[in-house]
Structure 1
């Protein structure tokens, strides 16, 4: 506690606090612009921190990262284009709720979900940093590949009853991710002799294209519509952000907040993932566990809370991995690692012991940056809300300009702009013919991760049984089977007793995986899951017998 208090006093030094506040505000502005991301912002700011102390430099970059992640919800809700990859799922319900005239509610939920998810993950950083970092090393390439397969089964829930079209969209995303040079061995695929596409397609231009073009073209089917505004005839009273209402709603829906924060934290701990995955996973789980699942996609409150709590919590998980093992969990953490190295600080298992003041200073800055984010959002969101009152054609021209600029800045190449335009056409056609975009984006995000880890696994051992004998891989395979089963059950009527019996073999697989993991907690969790499953079977059969007797 003494070290934590000392770190807090150091962060509250006027110069350090002011720099962090500027970072948060700058991140909010950048994150609200489609095509720009928190990663771009901190890469730009990194050279400016060379003359600062390690604490000041890291504080300002953490501020930019948190502001950038939270700023993405603005464009996601108001114009349907996620400002950052971590806000993809926010568009699913944020935009419909905003277009119902409830922008204040939508933005209030988004802001406070981001803040609470971030603060909770920051507290987890302080408590769990010495213990949880080692989990990432246990998973191995077999587990990573199985994890991607599990994540792809989420397409069944994101396809809104169109399972086949969702799977086709996901397969198309995987195909797009496999174009160009393979990352491990440099083998060129699907370029047809065209050297211009040897580098493949970067994720950011694809995301900008499929979301920006499809949304903007849908908003402007003709000249008359293009002259309208997204706000329509909404009274100006709807522009007031309903902060108190949002806080009360989050208290009522605390289960969704905690579950989504946990998902974000766990995904962040796993290297090479990030908020682009956690926000979709959290959205999927919120939908599966909601009593109002039919409202998802139409402005469901849980559909906003889940992705926004998860994406900010993911940053905490990524920092946890960086602090405990020196392994960056995502691109933002990779830049923070570069900043630490520049200041002659090498994170790793002994980092917290060797540099306690700096380590806990990062934890404190992470939590305070989320509180500052709320303050700046409260001061500036009324201005952001006025954007929806601009004519669509003016907003479309401005957004497309910044989208093109954002795509260009990925590699300072016009090639990425053409990629954005091409996939914009793909996104528009997918929307016109009823193919969901979310599974396509998921396939693009996970394609590279799946390929790299499959090659690594097979390079170590050509025995495919490793996917069943290694506990983490077996766990994700069990979760995959459970995900597919629940997707099928959701489309067919089945009795509770039959569902329990069908689930039992899969639960046995999951419990077997947990039981093989080191320590006491995970084997104990396996015993608990198995015990609950057996109790559920007992009560199901007991209830049937009782009704038969009656």
Structure 2
């Protein structure tokens, strides 16, 4: 198995080092690093904006670029958290707690150096996890029939909607809305129109590009545009020599980053958790095992190393269920899944066999991209900080312009542009009501596949729904669904005690920037 994995990985490096693929990987990590610095942009909105671009890019290059945006944004977000006390994106909110105090003590450069090292260690572990774990999952999943796949997708939808941030009931409601939007159009089996309301443009259904750009482009921009203050950059001058941590800082950081890496990799295997939850859990765990927990929040280097390693380990690990099972763990993975489907590629157990260039090329590009990010972050820290000086009244209208161009370019259809605007307005309203629309995308992407396998299961059983509990694997997945729901009910009933026991730091919630103190 080890020799086979090395052989496949070598093949993947050959794919990733092809000039065109290498270029798209570099573009992805560069753009990701840049938007990671900008509050309100982030990987989700950026991938949504770039999604129309993938129509004209070969599948391998498209996936390498979008994936690079995802993990590249995590590096940029850490810079603002440490130097500016600016949690541009939720996973890095916890990094502010000790990162910015270190900066005020004159150790911001060392904190950034540890962040780069922790990020690379966490990402490398996540890549190794994908190399050896994904093929095993694929072998198991190849034994699944439509019944097992249907139950597994139901589990993924339920986990993604209940474990994500916010109220589980609201998450389930958003998932159901996504499932509803996914069935709009013409039934491929019966030819029946479903919820088209006599509008011919809806016969082919709602486009993924329009939905994604509306929810995570227009809606997020509308919410973010009035939430940011001017940034104080008095602590942001960091030279190359400042990035070297002391021996003591390095000694204390290594165990912390290893613990964070393990926690992040475990969280990545649970749909709906993702890097945000992983970073907070790892910080709380590190504080618990520390001999001086009272010093956390005052500039402990472990408080930077552990959550950053956890974040990057989780980000890389998120690709495991997405690529091997076709089950996205969060909205970003759902977008990448959608990008594959746009290219006519069905993610899942057959992906490794039918498209090894995509799977192994992606894995190899992770290492290449992370090395690029290490090299990019060191000399470009000053440039990323200066990006925050761009007035948002210029930045966001420019982004909206590219949203409109991207939507129109997919089908040259103004109706789709209007559809995107309507979705954006609805998404903005949902955000104001504290609904998180990320679950809509999960339901929208997985809904048609869930319906297809549900129908196939009933055809096999001649209409007997008991097939879902008579098959052991399917019954096991349904049991996990029941356990997940019961656990959520239990946690909500005992919420104060549960959160007190975890001793989690307070989150800043959404990516809301605030000026440095």
Q: Please tell me whether the aligned partners of residues 20 and 369 of structure 1 are also in contact (alpha carbons under 8 angstroms).
A: no
For residue 257 of structure 1, what is the aligned residue in structure 2? 261
Deviates more, 1:380-389 or 1:123-132: 123-132
For 1:174 and 1:460, locate their aligned partners in 2 and report how far apart those are by CA, in whole Å.
Answer: 23
Offset of 1:130 from its aligned partner?
A: 6.1
Structure 2 SS opposite 1:133: helix
Offset of 1:20 from its aligned partner?
A: 5.5
Q: Please tell me whether the aligned partners of residues 26 and 65 of structure 2 are also in contact (alpha carbons under 8 angstroms).
A: yes
Q: Please tell me whether the aligned partners of residues 408 and 414 of structure 1 are also in contact (alpha carbons under 8 angstroms).
A: yes
**Higher RCO (CA < 8 A, seq sep 6+):** 2
Offset of 1:193 from its aligned partner?
A: 1.0
Offset of 1:422 from its aligned partner?
A: 1.0
Asked if 1:374 is matched to 2:374, the reply is yes
Q: How does 1:120-131 map to 2 (within 5 A)?
A: 120-124=125-129, 126-127=131-132, 131=136
- The CA deviation string for residues 223-261 of structure 1, in whole angstroms up to 9 with x for no partner, is xx7xxx544334351888997789976852544533543
For 1:471 and 1:243, locate their aligned partners in 2 and report how far apart those are by CA, in whole Å.
Answer: 54
For residue 237 of structure 1, what is the aligned residue in structure 2? 236
- The CA deviation string for residues 292-350 of structure 1, in whole angstroms up to 9 with x for no partner, is 89xxxxxx98887666533433446666689xxxxxx9466679998xxxxxxx98769
Asked if 1:178 is matched to 2:178, the reply is no
For residue 485 of structure 2, what is the aligned residue in structure 1? 484
Asked if 1:449 is matched to 2:449, the reply is yes
Deviates more, 1:305-314 or 1:485-494: 305-314
The equivalent position to 1:155 in structure 2, one of 146, 161, 181, is: 161
Q: Please tell me whether the aligned partners of residues 94 and 279 of structure 2 are also in contact (alpha carbons under 8 angstroms).
A: no
- The CA deviation string for residues 16-69 of structure 1, in whole angstroms up to 9 with x for no partner, is 47665433221224554745467666653429xxxxxxxxxx6x6775354233
For residue 212 of structure 1, what is the aligned residue in structure 2? 217
For 1:183 and 1:108, locate their aligned partners in 2 and report how far apart those are by CA, in whole Å.
Answer: 54
For residue 199 of structure 1, what is the aligned residue in structure 2? 204
Call closer, same or farther: CA 1:4–1:128 in 2, change over 3 Å.
closer
* Larger Rg belongs to: 1
Offset of 1:493 from its aligned partner?
A: 3.7
For residue 471 of structure 1, what is the aligned residue in structure 2? 472
For 2:27 and 2:53, locate their aligned partners in 1 and report how far apart those are by CA, in whole Å.
Answer: 8
TM-score, normalised on structure 1?
A: 0.61
For 1:396 and 1:178, locate their aligned partners in 2 and report how far apart those are by CA, in whole Å.
Answer: 32
Offset of 1:131 from its aligned partner?
A: 4.5
Deviates more, 1:465-474 or 1:16-25: 16-25
- The CA deviation string for residues 152-184 of structure 1, in whole angstroms up to 9 with x for no partner, is 254334353x44444333332332222223455
For residue 389 of structure 2, what is the aligned residue in structure 1? 389
Q: Please tell me whether the aligned partners of residues 178 and 443 of structure 2 are also in contact (alpha carbons under 8 angstroms).
A: yes
Asked if 1:140 is matched to 2:152, the reply is no
For residue 46 of structure 1, what is the aligned residue in structure 2? 58
For residue 526 of structure 1, what is the aligned residue in structure 2? none
Offset of 1:190 from its aligned partner?
A: 0.9
Asked if 1:458 is matched to 2:458, the reply is yes
Call closer, same or farther: CA 1:146–1:158 in 2, change over 3 Å.
same
Call closer, same or farther: CA 1:94–1:16 in 2, change over 3 Å.
closer
For 1:8 and 1:163, locate their aligned partners in 2 and report how far apart those are by CA, in whole Å.
Answer: 39
For 1:351 and 1:407, locate their aligned partners in 2 and report how far apart those are by CA, in whole Å.
Answer: 28
Structure 2 SS opposite 1:158: coil
Call closer, same or farther: CA 1:486–1:287 in 2, change over 3 Å.
farther
Report how many residues are paired: 437
Runs of at least 5 residues in structure 2 that lack an aligned partner in the other structure: 36-40, 81-87, 287-302, 327-335, 498-517
For 1:420 and 1:100, locate their aligned partners in 2 and report how far apart those are by CA, in whole Å.
Answer: 40
TM-score, normalised on structure 2?
A: 0.64
Deviates more, 1:188-197 or 1:65-74: 65-74
For 2:11 and 2:172, locate their aligned partners in 1 and report how far apart those are by CA, in whole Å.
Answer: 51
Aligned alpha-carbon RMSD (Å)? 5.3
For residue 521 of structure 1, what is the aligned residue in structure 2? none
For 2:367 and 2:98, locate their aligned partners in 1 and report how far apart those are by CA, in whole Å.
Answer: 33
Call closer, same or farther: CA 1:135–1:41 in 2, change over 3 Å.
farther
Offset of 1:395 from its aligned partner?
A: 1.5
For residue 402 of structure 2, what is the aligned residue in structure 1? 402
Runs of at least 5 residues in structure 1 that lack an aligned partner in the other structure: 48-57, 80-89, 268-277, 294-299, 323-328, 339-345, 497-550
For 2:386 and 2:256, locate their aligned partners in 1 and report how far apart those are by CA, in whole Å.
Answer: 30
For 1:458 and 1:113, locate their aligned partners in 2 and report how far apart those are by CA, in whole Å.
Answer: 49
For 1:290 and 1:260, locate their aligned partners in 2 and report how far apart those are by CA, in whole Å.
Answer: 11
Call closer, same or farther: CA 1:173–1:64 in 2, change over 3 Å.
closer
For 1:236 and 1:396, locate their aligned partners in 2 and report how far apart those are by CA, in whole Å.
Answer: 26
